[in-house]
Every structure is written in structure tokens, then in C-alpha cells.
Structure 1
Amino acid sequence: MTATADAEQAGLTELTPLADYLGSVLRRLRPLPPLEIDITQAYGNLLAEDVIAPHAFPAFDQAAIDGYAARWEDIASAGRGGQFGPTGGPSDGPGRPVRLNVVGDLGAASWRPVRLTPGTCFSVAAGSPLPNAADVVVPIDWTDQGMAAVEVFQAPKRGYGLRRAGEELPAGAVLARAGTYVTPAMVAVFAATGIGHVVVRPSPRVVIVATGDELVDVGRGSQPGQVVDANSHALTAAAAEVGALAYRVGICDDDPEGLRGLLEDQTLRADLIITTGGTGTGPGDMVRRILSRREAGRAGPVAFTEVALYPGTSLGFGTVGAEEVPVVCLPGEPGAALIGFEVLARPAIQLLAGAEPVFRPSVRAHLLETVSSPTGLREFRPAHVAERRGGGYTVQPLRGGPYTLSGLAEANGLLVLGERVTTAAAGSTVDVLLLDRRR
């Protein structure tokens, strides 16, 4: 649907406010049931329950550095009366080193329990278990690095160079709360405390279908009567950006039986289906004609609604198949499809994933250029938002308005103009949705 058609549609039809429409759709969705998965697969998922440490970390007293594990009372007098260089080693000044017998070497794989006796030490590597009675690890640079015996030139503080069992995370500690995204560092913490599986909200499986007899695959230019399918590729990327497992089915012709069969097949692997194209009321808008028709034995129709949204007023939502898989129907115009994804499909994916909040963050920004907006429609316009020196934000509308793909590609925000706004003057304060492009 073109910008002109949008305006005509707005004038002929009583439009549903966008907030009312989103509320009615999102109330019909529920987060996917929790799933226990291996921690190596958990990155990016939301935890469905608190994660409790079954074991302490570190699991045993261990050396934190390479050096010599000793009893502090045996080395306490080392270096008294002398001078030491900037690295902690001896300078040319006088000093009083302490001599200890090195009775063994310990590495990270050592497992036999050993014990220090007065006047002795062990050479230890970082991560190795500490000998019993050891309460300090002397850095190598503070010694003469001897093998059978070692001279200690300076005494660290008691407890230096070692980590006690449970010092960082005791057994029973809450490692992460439900509703937290799993990060790589969090995976390391889980593994270190003995956790191999966690219960998460699974990533929604989202299938994207582009419809229309006019569509052709990428790799060649459009000819009269042909349009290169940009939508299914863009929407697949958009679904992946929000954390979904996105599957691009490709192009489906305007064939009633073919479309029904394709959607029925996809319900077996989808938590959400997104279609693009055919949501209007024209003779070629097959998606609306097929999916809005109630048929015996089917879960129910997809409802198509004229929403006070610019661009793309016609949106569809309902369920398909015996499993009642949710389906979101977006317009075929690429700019309208991407905006429709932002305002409808993206919140739906977030809700299925159990994420909160489901909407993108927004800021109030100082508008740098006067813009006009269609009457009665909530407009989402590509824009560039920047932080102001001293605080706050500025927003610059990008050329071409909401229908230009180049503007959407450059945007890091969407300028939002309400239904009652016909003109927003330069210098006024407006709402801007922040687009996260860091993934």
C-alpha cells in the first residue's frame, strides 16, 4: 500500500488506535514454557528460574599466582631493614632474606594432600591446591627463584597470593535471578560451580513467509511485473536481531491451497509465523482473503485490522493450524513491513521469549528539523538520535520519510509522532525509539 493509499484508507475507515491494537494482540500471547538446556546452548536466553550454586568457587584453597606457598610466620622477617625495588625485588641496599627449603612442586593437576612444616615451602603454579598450613604465596620476583632452597627477600601480607575455598561464591549462593539474560561470563560461573544445565525461556522459532505472484528471488534486478523479495530477508534478520531462531521459507505465490498448505506445514516447527504482503483489500491481496475466512475444523480466522499506523495501516493477527500457532501478517511494502515488525512482531517475539520490557527503550529528544505528519496516524519515521553535550538528546529525521529503505538502513532511532500531531516544529521535544544495532 502506498503513502497515498494509506491516507485514503485513513479517511475512509475508522482506525483502531495503535496502543489499543497492541494491547489486544499481546494479551493473547503467553511466554513459551520453560526448557532445561545445556549451558553451552544457553547464551542469550532468559533464565526461567533462579540458579543456585551447588558447590563453592573456588572449590578448594588454591594459589592465585605462581610462587612459593609458605607459612607467613616463617617469612615475616624477610626484608626488614633493607630496601626494595619497584617490582618488589631487592635493590642494591642491605636486606635480610629468609631461607626456606623447597620440599616439592605443586601444579593445577596436583591432588595428593601435603602439609608444610616449619622452615619449608612448596613451589606452586597458579591454580594449584595449597599445602595444609600455607597462608601466603610469595611471588617469584620477590625471591632468588631457587629450586632446592629459596631465599625470600620480602614478606607479603598474610593471605597474599592465595584464594580460599568459597571466597568468591559459597555453596548456596544465587548465581543469577530468573529473568536474567545468560551471558558468556555467566556460563563460566555456572560451569565453575558444577552446573551443566539451566532452565530457560527458549528462543522463539519464527518462520517468515513472503507472498505475492510478483515476487522474485534476490540476485537479479526487478522487471515490469516483478519485485525482488527484500522483505523475507530483512524480516529474518530482524527476528534474529531480537533473539529468535529465524527461518526464511521464501516466496509463496498467491495460490489459496498453496498458502494454506505451506502455513499448515510450518506450524510443526514454528512458535510464530510472520507473513508479508497481501494484507490490504485489493483484488490481489490473497493473504487477507484466505486467512480471514472462517472454515470448519480450523482454529479460527486471522483478524485484519486498520490501525492508526503510518506507514502500513493494515495488520493481521490470529492463529493457524491445529496447534493454534500465532501468525502476524505485515504489509508488502518493505518500509511498512519493517515498521510493522518493530511495532507488532518484535513485541510478540519478546513476549514469547518471556522478556521484559517487550518494547524498545525510548527517549525524549530535541527535534532539529520541522516535520509534518498525516492526520490521525501514529507515524514512525527513521531518524538519527545523538546525545547532547551536557545531557539530553537531539534527533534528526532522515531523508525520504518512513518508506525509504535507505533511511531505515541509516537510522539508529524511530521518531514517533502521535495521531494528533500534524506538524512538529524544530526545537520541540519528541519521542524517539532507540534501535539497538549492536548485535
Structure 2
Amino acid sequence: MTATADAEAAANELTPLADYLGSVLRRLRALPPLDLDLTQAHGNVLAEDVVAPHAFPAFDQAAVDGYAARWEDISGGGRGPSYVPAPSGTPGGRTIRLNVVGDLGAASWRPVRLTPGSCFSVAAGAPLPVAADVVVPVEWTDQGMAAVEIFRTPKRGYGVRRAGEELPAGTLLARAGTYVSPALVAVFAATGIGHVVVRPSPRVVIVATGDELVDVGRGSQPGQVVDANSHALTAAAAEVGALAYRVGICDDDPEGLRGLLEDQTLRADLIITTGGTGTGPGDMVRRILSRREGGRAGPVTFTDVALYPGTALGFGTVGAEEVPVVCLPGDPGAALIGFEVLARPAIQLLAGAEPVFRPSVRAHLLETVSSPAGLREFRPAHVAERRGGGYTVQPLSGGPFTLSGLAEANGLLVLGERVTTAAAGSTVDVLLLDRRR
């Protein structure tokens, strides 16, 4: 057998990534809903449709600072206005004068009515007088106090916001599964909503395992590796909206690992471990969590997935509460890719978010790349929009294992299991990463 044939035969024994993800995500359920105060709901996902109980605006109001008037008075169709010579340079050669009978601010509440030839000085947001159907902006007038001269006539309805014009009562404001953004908070508040039912942000605990690990603040030495994973994965979980807790480093001690995971089930909706998922002599996580006890399979199943980098992934539940646990590889690049393809969708599902996967685009490949046979590869890349539409994608040097490439990437180039070479100029799939730059 050739080396290529050996690689393909080995890959055929791996579980396709799509099949594996489907089997894992089917075992998860969105967290039970909570009724939260509006100020606490931001960043969560709605568990129910939200309907406006009241109209917005709640009453007829001025949209600009100016003078509320009857349009027929300023258009020349009424009997009330008096015409006076216009200031030099004013179009039309004349202005319209109206009596100013009062001032209305946003806090005014007494109903008032316009009579022919009169107007009210109004602030933006003030309730409109009865019969007013236009607001003349202050800059189109001489800003008079007892009487005002209008140099320019707006169209009927200018500067006016009618009750329910934007959102009538009963309007569907947002569907279940919608992310509660700051703007949506404003919409809810404006229509009289003080509480909404949401899915809580998942509490995610991150544990790094391995006798070789040391904490940050020092350099790695032979026999010691700085723990980059737990810090990176905590940040990744927080980025997706989870309440992320970094436990730190757990040595390869069976009882210590079991005890730590049992303790964390009291405060976690999901536990993520990193390291020890392989079959080598130091891979204790797989050995401990997959061990059969009392004739039953271990709480976590480890699967060799057709994924590059990092084929070995684990999923199951721990503790009496059956808290889900995701086990990712120890290599930092493989751990971050594993988070993207497995842990991130799990967090999204627990949060009730839709869709659970990142958005993707089809992009024009700028450089020929090769990929392992039988594995679905996720490679750091830079995506850019093309003039005239579409996207281009540039693979970043070093491949998927380089942390520097992942730090620079704004996308992940996806090469399928049957792709061994993707030629420059071909069209490929790219996952878009949320990077604020």
C-alpha cells in the first residue's frame, strides 16, 4: 500500500464531522427560560415572541423644534395668516405671520387646540395641539415669541409624528431566538415593556489538563508548557456570549480530575476541557472519562473525527446534574478550531440562539493549497470583499496549527474531506469570524 492509500484508509475509519456534530447537538437542549428585567436582558436570546403592548409614538408629537401650525394657514389656503414683505433674498417675496399663543415642551400634558392664524412654539417630542398638521422648523422662521414670521413653507405633515406611526399596538417586535441588542432594548422600552422572557447566558467552565502545564507569565521550558488554552477558550466562550469561568490547570490525576469536574457541575451549564483527548501515554482525560464502571460506558465518549487539525474530540455528561462536557485537544491551534466547530455551536444551542453556526460565504481562492485526504480542514485565512461583489480569500502562512495565523484571520477556509488540492482561482467555502477591527 502507498502512503496516500494508507492515509485514505485511515481516514475512512474516522467519523465524518457533519455526522458527529449532528449526534452531539441533538443531545443538547436550550436552557430553561427566565423572566428578566429589561436592563438585564441585553445579550440574551428571546425565548418567546414579543408583541408591542402600546403604540409608538404613544401620541401625536413634534419631530423637530419649531412651530406647530395648521398647514392651510401657512399655505395660503386659510383666512388667518397675514402676509408681510419677506427679508431680502427670501424666495417668493413674502413671509407668513402667525400669532404664537403658547409654548409646549416634552413634559406638557394639557390638551390645547389651534385656532386659525395661530401656532404654538414646540420642542421635539412635545405633544401636538389639536388641529396641528405641520411643524415649521425654527430655522425657517425669525424665531419670534409673540408672533412668528415664516420664510419657507414645508409640506403638509412635515415635522409631525402620529401616534402609532412607527409601531402600532400589537406589532410583533421580535421573534423567539432573536438576540437582544441595545436597539431592541430601546424598542421594548418605548412600547411599554419592562420584562422579557429570555434564555439565560450559558455558564461555561474551562479546565486545562496536563502535568506539563504552567501558568502564564513565564516562558516554556523542556517539560513545561505555558497554558495558553484555558485563557484563549475562556475568551472565546465570552465572545459568543457565555458567562465564562477559567478554573485553571488540573494535573493528570484521576481523582483530582473527577473531583474538580464534580465540583464544577454545581455552577456550570457546560464544561470544556482541553488536553488529553488522544491515545498516548499521557492522555489521561480520555482514559479517565471514558472508563467503564459497573459494566456501563464512561460518561464521555471520545471519537476520532475527520477533522484537521485535532481529530480526537470528546462529548458526554458529568455529575448527577448531567452537565454537558466537551473535551478538546491540547494543541492550542487544534483547541481553538475544535472550539469553533463543536463548543461554539453547543453554547449557541444552550443559549437558544439561531443559527448555531457562523455565517459562511463562497470566495475566490487566491493561492493553491493542499489538504490531508479524508479530513475536513479549517485553515486560518483573510477574507476580503471584491469590487463589484463577491469575496476573495487568502490562506495565511503556517496552516491551521499556527497561533499567529489564527490571531490574524478573519475567516476559516474550509476544505472538504475529498479535497486534496484546491487550485488558485477555484471557489471555496469560508466561515466568517467576528473580529472587530
Q: TM over 0.5: same fold?
A: yes
Contact 2:84 2:97 in 1 (8 A): no
Match of 1:395 in 2: 393
- Tell me how far 1:291 sits from its aligned partner: 1.0
Corresponding letter in the other structure for 1:271? D
Q: What is the distance in 2 between the residues matched to 1:75 and 1:272?
A: 66
2:277 paired with 1:315: no
Corresponding letter in the other structure for 1:23? G
Q: Secondary structure at the match of 2:94?
A: coil
Q: Structure 1: where are the runs of 5+ without partners?
A: 1-6
- Tell me how far 1:234 sits from its aligned partner: 0.8
Q: Map residues 301-340 of structure 1 onto 2, 5 A cutoff.
A: 301-340=299-338
Relative to 1, partners in 2 of residues 1:67 and 1:293: Cα closer, same or farther, differing over 3 Å?
A: same
Contact 2:204 2:242 in 1 (8 A): yes
Residue 374 (structure 1) aligned to one of 367, 372, 375 = 372
- Tell me how far 1:92 sits from its aligned partner: 8.4
Relative to 1, partners in 2 of residues 1:124 and 1:138: Cα closer, same or farther, differing over 3 Å?
A: same
Contact 1:298 1:322 in 2 (8 A): no
Q: What is the distance in 1 between the residues matched to 2:148 and 2:387?
A: 58
- Tell me how far 1:139 sits from its aligned partner: 2.2
Match of 1:38 in 2: 37
- Tell me how far 1:357 sits from its aligned partner: 2.4
Q: What is the distance in 2 between the residues matched to 1:39 and 1:382?
A: 38
Contact 2:11 2:306 in 1 (8 A): no
Report Cα offsets for 1:229-257 as digits up to 9, x if no partner. Answer: 00011111111222222111111111222
**More displaced, 8-17 or 365-374?**
8-17
- Tell me how far 1:274 sits from its aligned partner: 0.4
Match of 2:63 in 1: 64
Contact 2:62 2:126 in 1 (8 A): yes
Corresponding letter in the other structure for 2:398? G
Q: What is the distance in 2 between the residues matched to 1:336 and 1:241?
A: 18
Residue 180 (structure 2) aligned to one of 182, 192, 198 = 182
Report Cα offsets for 1:128-157 as digits up to 9, x if no partner. Answer: 112223232222233332222333344433
Q: What is the distance in 1 between the residues matched to 2:13 and 2:57?
A: 65
Q: Structure 2: where are the runs of 5+ without partners?
A: 1-5
Q: What is the distance in 2 between the residues matched to 1:116 and 1:201?
A: 50
2:401 paired with 1:415: no
Match of 2:190 in 1: 192
Contact 1:98 1:153 in 2 (8 A): no
Q: What is the distance in 1 between the residues matched to 2:362 and 2:63?
A: 48
Report Cα offsets for 1:264-316 as digits up to 9, x if no partner. Answer: 11111211110000111222211112111244699951001111211111110
Contact 1:298 1:321 in 2 (8 A): no
Match of 1:211 in 2: 209
**More displaced, 157-166 or 297-306?**
297-306
Q: What is the distance in 1 between the residues matched to 2:68 and 2:389?
A: 52
**More displaced, 113-122 or 268-277?**
113-122
Match of 2:26 in 1: 27
2:356 paired with 1:358: yes
**More displaced, 55-64 or 153-162?**
153-162
Percent identical residues: 87
Q: What is the distance in 2 between the residues matched to 1:346 and 1:162?
A: 47
Corresponding letter in the other structure for 1:62? Q
Q: What is the distance in 2 between the residues matched to 1:394 and 1:144?
A: 56
Contact 1:84 1:93 in 2 (8 A): no
Report Cα offsets for 1:314-335 as digits up to 9, x if no partner. Answer: 1100000111110000010111
Match of 1:118 in 2: 116
Contact 1:299 1:320 in 2 (8 A): no
Q: Secondary structure at the match of 2:31?
A: coil
Match of 1:4 in 2: none
Match of 2:3 in 1: none
Corresponding letter in the other structure for 2:36? I
Q: What is the distance in 1 between the residues matched to 2:41 and 2:384?
A: 34
Corresponding letter in the other structure for 1:65? V
Contact 1:299 1:324 in 2 (8 A): no
Aligned length: 428
Residue 292 (structure 1) aligned to one of 269, 290, 294 = 290
Q: What is the distance in 2 between the residues matched to 1:98 and 1:293?
A: 91
Match of 1:3 in 2: none
- Tell me how far 1:81 sits from its aligned partner: 9.7
Q: What is the distance in 2 between the residues matched to 1:136 and 1:389?
A: 44
Contact 1:15 1:307 in 2 (8 A): yes
- Tell me how far 1:12 sits from its aligned partner: 9.5
Relative to 1, partners in 2 of residues 1:408 and 1:99: Cα closer, same or farther, differing over 3 Å?
A: closer
Relative to 1, partners in 2 of residues 1:107 and 1:209: Cα closer, same or farther, differing over 3 Å?
A: same
Relative to 1, partners in 2 of residues 1:139 and 1:33: Cα closer, same or farther, differing over 3 Å?
A: same
Residue 275 (structure 2) aligned to one of 274, 277, 281 = 277
Relative to 1, partners in 2 of residues 1:96 and 1:240: Cα closer, same or farther, differing over 3 Å?
A: closer
Q: What is the distance in 1 between the residues matched to 2:340 and 2:155?
A: 58
- Tell me how far 1:42 sits from its aligned partner: 2.2
Contact 2:8 2:373 in 1 (8 A): no
- Tell me how far 1:340 sits from its aligned partner: 0.9
Q: Secondary structure at the match of 1:97?
A: strand
Corresponding letter in the other structure for 1:127? G
**More displaced, 14-23 or 209-218?**
14-23
Relative to 1, partners in 2 of residues 1:409 and 1:68: Cα closer, same or farther, differing over 3 Å?
A: same
Contact 1:45 1:200 in 2 (8 A): yes
**More displaced, 222-231 or 429-438?**
429-438
2:228 paired with 1:230: yes
Report Cα offsets for 1:344-385 as digits up to 9, x if no partner. Answer: 111111221222222222233333333222232222222223
